[in-house]
Amino acid sequence: MDWSQWQLLDSILPTGGFAHSFGLEAAIQARIVSTPDELRTHLIHLLENTASLLLPFVHSATTNPSADNLRKLDALLDATLSNEVSRKASTSQGSALMRVAASVFTEIPSLKTTRDACLTSNFHFHHAPVFGLICGLLGMDPKTSQRGYLFITLRDSISAATRLNLVGPLGAAVLQHQVAAIAETILKQWADRPVEEACQTSPLLDTFQGFHSYLFSRLFCS
Amino acid sequence: MNLEKAVSLGDLRIQLSKTAIRFSRDGNSEVPLSIFFFSPRYLWCFFIRSRKLDCNTAGVQKNGGHDWKWGGEIAFWDRRRVWNNCSNDTITLGPMLCGFTHLPMVAVLFLYAAASLNSGDRISCEFFVGNGCTAVLTTQASTKVYKSLGSRCSEQLLEARIGSDALLVVIPDPVTCFSTARYAQKQVFRVVADSSSLLLVDWITSGRHESGERWEFQLYKSTNQILLADDDDRPLFVDSVLLEQGSISSISDRMLDYQVIAMVVILGPKLKNIQNQVQENVKRLMSDQLHMPYSGVRASSNHAKPNSSSSFNKPPLVASCSPFGPKGMGVVVRIAATTTESVYKFLNHQLSGMESLIGVLPYR
């Protein structure tokens, strides 16, 4: 199982996560993040917001990986991600992840059947529930899958920061390690909550994400 | 949507759908609400005012200081009727009386409760906006939430049903939570897809920020839900903001230097023009503020003075606008600003198109 779990969390898995900056590009162009310190602060707020808003969806999909639950979570998350930029980022990453997982982890037939069933209905393939589902089917416990979700959020946003020239590759690695300790505290606080309690703790992030589409020239999709 | 039919009263015919407002309140202070209820079908002006009855003169026993009875007064253009409804703190507005003139009708309902919420107060209201009707909910002043005693929380619950071809406009002043206050509100709107219209403004300031009290309250939670009533209450828009002082980062850290955050939801056919206009305006406003850093951010930060605060570079007002729902049924605008006045101006400007719909210019 470990090999599959590590492959799922490896950035080399072609899910298109590299195309998203999690509001960082917009924040830089609005001069809200311009120094490595401000980047660190931004990352911590991003992780906290991701934890409070999306971990409940990951948790629910991992503990109940049925197609019915997935559909319910997907519909609720679609109404919750009122920001069009985040919504599109979530669906594009989620559908890519589902497609890749169905092709790669062929020893789990329910991945392909669930994907096929969802393709026919009004399903958006939001990232967090799909990630939770795959983790659950790969045998990860809910704590690990939620930690995994925070990990890939940190991984992708740090990667975006290097490509936006905010920090160098070595500096990014150092930062990632420093923030990881804080991420674990965030996980402890926000893990295992029901989706009815999903909320945003950093509403500013939603505002910054939203004006990504106003950027005249941009590197990232979101 | 099956709203109750109106009832005849005397020689005046009532054609308005019944508006039921149910109050239930724990605690011993009051909360203000001014409601302008406006229907295009009715042509008289009338007023309904309610005020707290003095329990001694009404011969009602005070029950540990917590049971207040309410009274009301209906005033017409030529007569006045005092109306007391004292059962269980419930006010049911019965059929509205009206006549015919050539003037557009405005019903102004003032519900007086105090201007402040004390800890442990809980207020809930329910509104039904009948088919084809328009209602405007606003406040007399910002809702102030005082410090909480122990861990008790002040709560407000608003539930509204908006009928077909109806419009509900919710344009309050911002909530201001003072140091150590705890406040939670939940607003649930049930709408008919592609038929009901809703304008919702929900906003909060950081406290008495001129006196240096910035984001010092303990907890603020605001949940807004828009559900499709004709689709088994399927969620169309769900937003929940939780600002709680935490060990990882304080609220003040998360808000950077901004002192006010606001959210505006514009939904429905009656507000389509305003939706489109606001999207254009916000895009134009923000495009001016965003620019590519010239030589890469790392290079510029190396040359920056060590103690120069980049907060001076941050835009004083940021906003973003996003459609949601099938076929972009609605639009949500999120704003963050360093001053309350700038948000009042922004809202006043963006919502100026409302004047023709409701007869008042919001946030003047």
Q: Which chain A residue shows the shortest CA-CA distance from B319?
A: A207
**Inter-chain touch B320–A207, beta carbons under 8 Å:** yes
pLDDT at B172 over 50: yes
**Inter-chain touch A199–B241, beta carbons under 8 Å:** yes
Specify the pLDDT at position A59.
Answer: 97
Count of the separate structural domains present in chain A: 1
Specify the pLDDT at position B125.
Answer: 65
B/e letters for B111-131, b = 16+ CB within 10 Å, e = fewer, are bbbeebbbbbbbbebbbbbbe
Asked if B223 contacts B235 with a C-beta cutoff of 8 angstroms, the reply is no
Is A212 inside any structural domain?
no
**Inter-chain touch B255–A204, beta carbons under 8 Å:** yes
- Name the range with the highest mean pLDDT among A70-74, B20-24, B290-294: A70-74
B137 vs B297, more confident: B137
Is A181 inside any structural domain?
yes
Rounded distance between C-alpha atoms, residue B204 and residue A79, angstroms:
23
Q: Spell out the alpha helix ranges (H) of chain B.
A: 251-254, 272-289, 297-303, 340-350, 355-358
Question: Based on the number of CB atoms within 10 Å of its own CB, is A98 exposed (0-12), middle (13-18) or buried (19 or more)?
Answer: buried
**Could you say which of A84, A87, A216 has the minimum Cβ distance to residue B287?**
A216
Top residue of B294, B320, B324, B327 to mutate, by most chain A CBs within 10 Å, is B320
Question: A86 to each of A127, A128, A157, A194, B60, how far by Cα in Å?
Answer: 10, 12, 14, 21, 56
Average pLDDT, chain B: 65
Beta bridge partners of B12: B9
**Domain membership of residue A155 as a residue range:** 21-200
Chain A residue numbers with beta carbons less than 8 Å from the beta carbon of B253 are: 41, 45
Nearest to B35 by CA among B123, B143, B116, B110: B110
Grouping H, G, I as helix, E, B as strand and the rest as coil, residue B185 is strand
Specify the pLDDT at position B108.
Answer: 38
Q: Which chain B residue shows the shortest CA-CA distance from A32?
A: B314
Q: What number of helices (H) and strands (E) belong to chain A?
A: 10, 0
Rounded distance between C-alpha atoms, residue A197 and residue A186, angstroms:
16
Question: B221 to each of B136, B177, B179, B240, B244, how far by Cα in Å?
Answer: 23, 11, 15, 7, 8
Beta bridge partners of B26: B122
pLDDT, tens digit, for every residue of B175-186? 888 888 888 889
pLDDT, tens digit, for every residue of B131-155? 666 677 766 556 677 777 667 777 7
pTM listed for this prediction = 0.80
Grouping H, G, I as helix, E, B as strand and the rest as coil, residue B103 is coil
Q: Spell out the alpha helix ranges (H) of A108-196.
A: 109-120, 127-137, 142-163, 169-190
Nearest to B71 by CA among B92, B50, B48, B46: B50
Banded pLDDT at B121 (limits 50, 70, 90): low
Asked if A60 contacts A133 with a C-beta cutoff of 8 angstroms, the reply is no
Banded pLDDT at B68 (limits 50, 70, 90): very low
Chain B residue numbers with beta carbons less than 8 Å from the beta carbon of A52 are: 242
Chain B residue numbers with beta carbons less than 8 Å from the beta carbon of A85 are: 322
pLDDT per residue as tens, chain A (222 positions): 689 889 998 888 888 777 888 888 888 888 888 888 999 999 999 999 999 999 999 999 999 988 889 999 999 999 999 989 899 999 999 999 999 999 999 999 888 888 888 887 789 999 999 999 999 999 899 999 999 999 999 999 999 999 988 899 999 999 999 999 999 999 999 999 999 999 999 999 989 888 887 777 777 777
Is A10 inside any structural domain?
no
pLDDT, tens digit, for every residue of B246-272? 878 888 888 888 999 999 999 999 999
Nearest to A48 by CA among A187, A216, A209: A187
Is A166 inside any structural domain?
yes
Is A215 inside any structural domain?
no
Is A207 inside any structural domain?
no
Give the length of chain B. Answer: 364
Is A209 inside any structural domain?
no
B50 vs A201, more confident: A201
**Could you say which of B238, B296, B336 has the minimum Cβ distance to residue A76?**
B238
CATH number at residue A33: 1.10.4190.10
Nearest to A41 by CA among B295, B214, B252: B252
**Inter-chain touch A204–B332, beta carbons under 8 Å:** no
Nearest to B121 by CA among B72, B51, B185, B55: B185
Asked if B266 contacts B331 with a C-beta cutoff of 8 angstroms, the reply is yes
Is A37 inside any structural domain?
yes
**Inter-chain touch B248–A185, beta carbons under 8 Å:** yes
Question: Based on the number of CB atoms within 10 Å of its own CB, is B351 exposed (0-12), middle (13-18) or buried (19 or more)?
Answer: buried
Output the CA torsion sign for B273, B276, B277, B279. positive
